[in-house]
Structure 1
Amino acid sequence: MLPNELYQKFTQILPDRKLPKPEQYLYTKWLRYYWDFCHKYHHNPLIPTSLSLFLSKLQEKKQSVQQQNQAKFAIGLLYD
């Protein structure tokens, strides 16, 4: 589960990016998945090297390239 403060900040920046509501939901979902993945496998979610590990896991789970790109974009927003 995302910390409330992080969730609040993340959901505040999404409208600033002029993203449609359905995409905002998807990006928030991917951030939650990433956060859970990092905690489950003991990776620091705030360092970019964890992203490549997460994307590898998505490939392993047969997630589409589009889904991997959505996740990459969402997590990139976290790092910004």
Structure 2
Amino acid sequence: MPLVIPGLQSKDGSGKEDWSNKLMGKKLGEEHNEVTFAKTDLPKEHRVLKPDSMSTMDHKPERLNIHVDEEGTVKNVRYG
């Protein structure tokens, strides 16, 4: 039986690749449109990391880390 880690290996559209497709190049905001993704639709376990922000080094496999640039545009998405 294969090891399944929720959020990392998922058939329900919540895996890293799916989140990358939804978020890359967009900004986070209050509603969806062609350049914005609604914050309310992010998974419960997430954090947004700006280039100069500090973050803990704890590893949470279910937590979505969203890396944004200085303008708030998503540049990287990963779990951990």
TM-score w.r.t. structure 1 length?
0.30
Kindly indicate which of the two structures has a greater share of residues assigned to helix: 1
Kindly indicate which of the two structures has a greater share of residues assigned to strand: 2
Structure possessing the higher radius of gyration over alpha carbons: 2
